[in-house]
């Protein structure tokens, strides 16, 4: 039979448990003898840790132990306290800035772990926190990148600097090009501090079996194999002594599943006290402990010809990195300068990216890292340039989009990591045209700037590319069950995307069996395959899906060989017919080959680039500074859509996260680097009532040439252009005031201030 599960809107198999409250998340686990960990975190942004006195806490009934840095004496580390290494861009320059798993000499942000209480309940553990006496000698806090730049108060004194690195994004010869350019414009642009808040806070449960020398860690997500390598090295065990178990995971968005201090502290605690220990992050902790992201300020210059064609970009991007270089913390600061040019042809490119250490929660990735920021810079610049040069905004983009014939188009290279990149395929003009047509741009844009019923109408457009499919490889394994069904084992993880359904679709198509025959898809735990790389960079479908394809080929070859031998037939005559193996007139139940298994890996060093356009129609109430979205359309070409139903979920879901960052979300600190957004009433996530009018169209007209599925990563397209598109629409709406938003989020106060400034200027 020839299947067409790929491309069909198959309802998800995961839903059957989630909808009935039968998903098992890490806090749903319990084991006999379990102790609960509660973490004492620094309330001081920057200071020297003088002493931690746990004696009073230890007297509280139900408190079993309080762990501090003094309990750690790991000879691999100078201070005895393990350090969390970088996973991506692990440059030697970053080493001095990496985070110890627990504070031992200094505290560098509000929320840094100082002690771990092990208690009979979470409540008792929290009671004990108030009885731990911590002495900290205050140091001047560094609350902004500008303060960091002064190098007056230095977070890591031996380094002598608060700048951990400068990335250089380069292409062509920007300085020469700018010297001869007929037109340039320079702008200062800022993005707010966001994070990939997951609805399920993080959690770890660790069980130590001393007799078997076996550590079992539940709560893994995203990159379990990598995290096992880190933990094994830190804690002094062999990788095979540790099993990482992935449970149902309540959201990832780049933030969950990286190796955090707690990913050491909880297994260590379990081993230390020889009892199972569980830690579940509460929301207040989550806001100050999970990786932050996105806070940048860019000073950029663009050079163009009079016809609007871009000659080059140059300038500086400053990222507020927070207090430590965490596992993937450099990604955003590298991506923003490297990929800010997006889908546009930019021959000359010279942007320096400065990574400033501040006394804030450390930074990691959040969906579309650096790309949301970079797209905001670029799209704002394009609108301002178009206005300066008297060119229609859409025409400005058409003139600069990379054409179909130009692929693969070389993007800027980032140093010192020598990160080359290039596009893969696509017709960027076609998605823009489709977007404008379906959006009704020609009609709606006539309303731009008009005051109707007390509100100013505005339209905005923005284009994006989305990098996906990070290598170097991914693994899949298929195994025959006794009941003649097949199980798929994956090296990638689930963070809610629906990979169990999608891998079943791909496997069923490849094996030409009904999808129900793919009985289970297991993923994310270190016992599924020999090695796995996880779920990030929109890689699950491309890398994992391609791994399924190559594994099915190996599986069929192995089955043909076994069945051919068994049935005495030529291997080439063996076929799989639902639950039977058929050859030369004979047939055997597939279950006869139970245990037959084949694992294979897909290798890839190139990236996919899905692409598309956003268009929005908003109104602005200038007196309130309030934005309402009347219509928002995302058109994205994904190379090949595996499941249009779940793909729409990715696009709309990421779009609303982007709109959150464009309009609502901002993690704030005061000048003492005290954290001000410690509740969900302060960090404002989008609600069901905020953005009701959103649409998306997903096309798959231009398959990726770099993988057998033709698929492209598509988890970030909704988020990347949301900030730029919204800010452009606000500028269009408030053109009579001369408003040009240069910062996100577009909060009521900010928009109101822009209007006030515009009015004042007009009055002068």
Residues 612-651 that bind other proteins (CB under 8 A): 623-626, 645-646, 648-649
Q: Is 209 in the site for other proteins (CB under 8 A)?
A: no
Looking at the Cβ atoms of 85 and 141, the one nearer to other proteins is 141
Asked if 677 is part of the footprint of other proteins (rule: CB under 8 A), the reply reads yes
Q: Is residue 56 within the footprint of other proteins (CB under 8 A)?
A: no
Biggest CA–CA distance in the chain, Å, is: 95
Tell me which stretch binds other proteins (CB under 8 A): 11-19, 74-82, 204-212, 233-241.
11-19
- Name which of 462, 465, 528 is nearest 499 in CA terms: 528
- Work out the angle at residue 635's Cα, subtended by the Cα atoms of residues 630 and 639, and round it to the nearest 5 degrees: 160
Q: Report phi then psi at 152, rounded to 5.
A: -80, -45
335 exposure class (CB count in 10 Å sphere: 0-12, 13-18, 19+)? buried
Distance CA 664, CA 651 (A): 19
Query: Which CB, 12 or 87, lies closer to other proteins?
Result: 12
Q: In the complex, what is the shortest distance from the CB of residue 471 to other proteins, in angstroms, rounded to a whole number?
A: 25
Sign of CA dihedral 703, 606, 352, 674: positive
d(CA 633, CA 352) in angstroms, rounded, equals: 33
- 495: contact with other proteins by CB under 8 A: yes
Among 522, 691, 702, 720, binds other proteins (CB under 8 A): 691
Considering the rule CB under 8 A, would residue 250 count as an interface residue with other proteins? Answer: yes
Least Å distance, CB 691 to other proteins, is 7
Among the candidate windows 121-129, 212-220, 309-317, 405-413, which touches other proteins by CB under 8 A? 121-129
Range 725-744, binding other proteins (CB under 8 A): none
Return the SS3 of 430.
Answer: helix
Q: Is 516 in the site for other proteins (CB under 8 A)?
A: no
- Which residues inside 329-348 make contact with other proteins, applying CB under 8 A? none
User: What residues numbered 18-47 form the site for other proteins, per CB under 8 A?
Assistant: 18-25, 27-28, 30
Q: Are 540 and 49 in contact (CB under 8 A)?
A: no
Nearest approach, Cβ of residue 163 and other proteins (Å): 28
What is the smallest separation between the CB atom of 97 and other proteins, expressed in angstroms? 28
The contact mask relative to other proteins for 547-576 (x = CB under 8 A, - = no) is ------------------------------
Give yes or no for residue 245 binding other proteins (CB under 8 A).
no
* Cα–Cα distance, 56 to 74 (Å, whole number): 27
126 touching other proteins, by CB under 8 A: yes
> How many residues of this chain bind other proteins (CB under 8 A)?
79
CB 272 within 8 A of CB 208: no
**CA distance linking residue 129 with residue 691, whole number of Å:** 41
Residue 60 makes contact with other proteins by CB under 8 A: no
**Residue 486 three-state SS:** strand
Whichever of 277 and 583 has its CB closer to other proteins, that residue is 277
Task: Give the range of 153-161, 330-338, 492-500, 543-551 binding other proteins by CB under 8 A.
Answer: 492-500
Comparing CB distances to other proteins, the nearer of 169 and 249 is 249
- Provide the token pair at 380: 């704002």
Among 62, 316, 748, 759, binds other proteins (CB under 8 A): 748
Does residue 16 belong to the site contacting other proteins (CB under 8 A)? yes
Residues 42 and 103 sit within 8 Å (Cβ to Cβ):
yes
Task: Tell which positions 257-316 bind other proteins, by CB under 8 A.
Answer: 282-284
Q: Return all residues near 498 (Cβ < 8 A) that are at least 6 apart.
A: 12, 14, 643, 646, 649
Give residue 412's Cα distance to chain centre: 22
CA distance 44 to 25: 32
Give least dist CB 533 to other proteins, A. 20
Determine if 236 is a binding residue for other proteins (CB under 8 A): no
The window from 75-83, 173-181, 589-597, 690-698 that contacts other proteins (CB under 8 A) reads 690-698
Q: Is 67 helix (H, G, I), strand (E, B) or coil?
A: strand
Count CB atoms within 10 A of the CB of residue 472.
11
Closer Cβ to other proteins, 120 or 735, answer by number: 120
Residue 15 within binding range of other proteins, rule CB under 8 A = yes
**Helix-, strand-, coil-residue percentages of the chain, each rounded to 5:** 30, 30, 40
Rounded to an integer, what distance in angstroms lies between the CA atom of residue 17 and that of residue 606? 36
Q: How far is the CB of 634 from other proteins (least distance, A)?
A: 11
Q: Is 749 in the site for other proteins (CB under 8 A)?
A: yes
100 class by beta-carbon count within 10 Å (0-12 exposed, 13-18 middle, 19+ buried): buried
Residue 495 structure tokens: 């963070």
Q: Segment contacting other proteins (CB under 8 A): 14-22, 41-49, 332-340, 461-469?
A: 14-22
Which residues between 651 and 670 bind other proteins (CB under 8 A)? 652-657, 664, 666, 668
State which H helix or E strand residue 580 sits in: strand 580-583
* CA separation for the pair 576, 649 (Å, rounded): 34
* Of positions 5, 6, 14, 259, contacts other proteins by CB under 8 A: 14
Judged by beta carbon, residue 200 or residue 424, the one nearer other proteins is 200
Q: How far apart are the first and last CA of the chain?
A: 76
- Closest approach of other proteins to the CB of residue 660, in Å: 9
When the beta carbons of 348 and 742 are compared against other proteins, the nearer one is 742
Q: How many helices (H) and strands (E) does the chain have?
A: 19, 32
CB of 255 to other proteins, least distance (A): 11
| 504 binding other proteins? (CB under 8 A) | no
According to the binding rule CB under 8 A, does residue 497 interact with other proteins? Answer: yes
Residue 617 parent element (H or E): strand 608-621
| CA 415 to chain CA mean position, Å | 22
**Residues 135-174 contacting other proteins, CB under 8 A:** none
């Amino acid at each position: 039979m020839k299947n067409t599960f790929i491309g069909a809107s198959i309802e998800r198999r995961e839903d059957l448990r989630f909808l009935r409250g039968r998903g098992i998340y890490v806090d749903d686990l319990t084991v006999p003898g379990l102790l609960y960990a509660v973490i004492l975190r620094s309330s001081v942004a920057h200071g020297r840790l003088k002493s931690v006195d746990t004696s009073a806490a230890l007297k509280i009934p139900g408190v079993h132990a309080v762990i501090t840095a003094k309990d750690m004496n790991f000879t691999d580390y100078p201070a005895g306290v393990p350090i969390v290494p970088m996973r991506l861009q692990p440059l030697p320059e970053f080493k001095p800035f990496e985070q110890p798993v627990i504070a031992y000499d200094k505290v560098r942000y509000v929320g840094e772990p100082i002690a771990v209480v092990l208690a009979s309940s979470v409540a008792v553990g929290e009671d004990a926190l108030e009885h731990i006496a911590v002495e900290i000698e205050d140091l001047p806090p560094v609350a902004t990148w500008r303060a960091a730049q002064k190098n007056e108060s230095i977070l890591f004194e031996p380094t002598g600097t608060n700048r951990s690195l400068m990335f250089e994004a380069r292409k062509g010869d920007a300085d020469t090009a700018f010297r001869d350019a007929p037109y340039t414009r320079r702008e200062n642009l800022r993005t707010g501090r966001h994070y990939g808040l997951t609805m399920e806070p993080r959690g770890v449960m660790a069980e130590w079996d001393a007799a078997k020398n076996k550590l079992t860690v539940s709560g893994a997500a995203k990159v379990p194999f990598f995290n096992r390598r880190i933990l094994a090295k830190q804690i002094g065990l062999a990788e095979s002594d540790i099993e990482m178990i992935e449970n149902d995971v309540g959201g990832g968005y780049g933030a969950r599943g990286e190796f955090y201090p707690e990913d050491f502290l909880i297994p260590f605690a379990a081993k230390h006290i020889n009892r199972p220990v569980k830690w579940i992050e509460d929301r207040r902790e989550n806001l100050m402990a999970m990786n932050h992201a996105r806070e940048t300020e860019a000073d950029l210059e663009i050079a163009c010809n009079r016809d609007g064609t871009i000659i080059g970009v140059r300038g500086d991007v400053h990222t507020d990195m927070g207090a430590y270089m965490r596992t993937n913390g450099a990604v955003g600061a590298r991506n923003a300068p490297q990929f800010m040019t997006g889908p546009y042809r930019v021959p000359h490119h010279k942007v320096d990216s400065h990574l400033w250490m501040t006394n804030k929660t450390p930074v990691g990735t959040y969906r579309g890292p650096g790309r949301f920021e970079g797209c905001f810079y670029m799209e704002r610049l394009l609108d301002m340039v178009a206005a300066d040069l008297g060119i229609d905004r859409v025409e400005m983009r058409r003139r600069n989009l990379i054409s179909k014939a130009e692929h693969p188009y070389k993007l800027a290279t980032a140093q010192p990591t020598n990160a080359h990149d290039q596009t893969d395929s696509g017709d960027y003009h076609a998605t823009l045209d489709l977007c404008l047509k379906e959006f009704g741009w020609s009609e709606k844009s006539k309303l731009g700037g008009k005051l109707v019923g007390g509100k100013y109408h505005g339209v905005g457009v923005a284009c994006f590319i989305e990098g996906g499919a990070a290598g170097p490889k991914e693994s899949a394994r298929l195994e025959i069950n006794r009941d003649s069904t097949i199980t798929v084992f994956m090296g990638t993880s689930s963070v809610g995307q629906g990979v169990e359904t999608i891998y079943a679709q791909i496997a069923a198509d490849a094996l030409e069996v009904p999808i129900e025959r793919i009985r289970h898809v297991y993923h994310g735990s270190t016992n599924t395959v020999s090695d796995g790389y996880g779920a990030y960079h929109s890689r699950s479908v491309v890398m994992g899906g391609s791994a399924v394809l190559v594994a099915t080929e190996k599986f069929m070859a192995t089955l043909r060989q076994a069945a051919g031998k068994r049935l005495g037939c030529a291997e080439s005559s063996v076929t799989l017919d639902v639950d039977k193996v058929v050859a030369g007139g004979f047939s055997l139940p597939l279950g006869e080959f139970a245990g037959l298994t084949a694992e294979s890996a897909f290798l890839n060093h190139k990236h996919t680039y899905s692409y598309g356009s956003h268009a929005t129609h908003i109104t602005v109430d200038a007196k309130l500074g309030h934005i309402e979205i009347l219509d928002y359309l995302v058109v994205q070409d994904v190379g090949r859509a595996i499941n249009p139903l779940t793909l729409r979920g990715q696009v709309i879901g990421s779009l609303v996260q982007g709109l959150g960052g464009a309009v609502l979300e901002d993690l704030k600190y005061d000048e003492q680097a005290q954290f001000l957004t410690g509740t969900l009433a302060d960090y404002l996530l989008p609600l069901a009532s905020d953005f009701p009018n959103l649409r998306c169209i997903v096309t798959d007209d231009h398959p990726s040439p770099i993988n057998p599925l033709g698929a492209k990563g598509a988890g970030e397209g909704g988020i990347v252009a949301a900030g730029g598109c919204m800010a452009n629409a606000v500028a269009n709406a408030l053109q009579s005031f001369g408003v040009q938003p240069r910062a996100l989020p577009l909060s009521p106060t900010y928009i109101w201030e822009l209007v006030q400034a515009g009015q004042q200027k007009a009055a002068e």
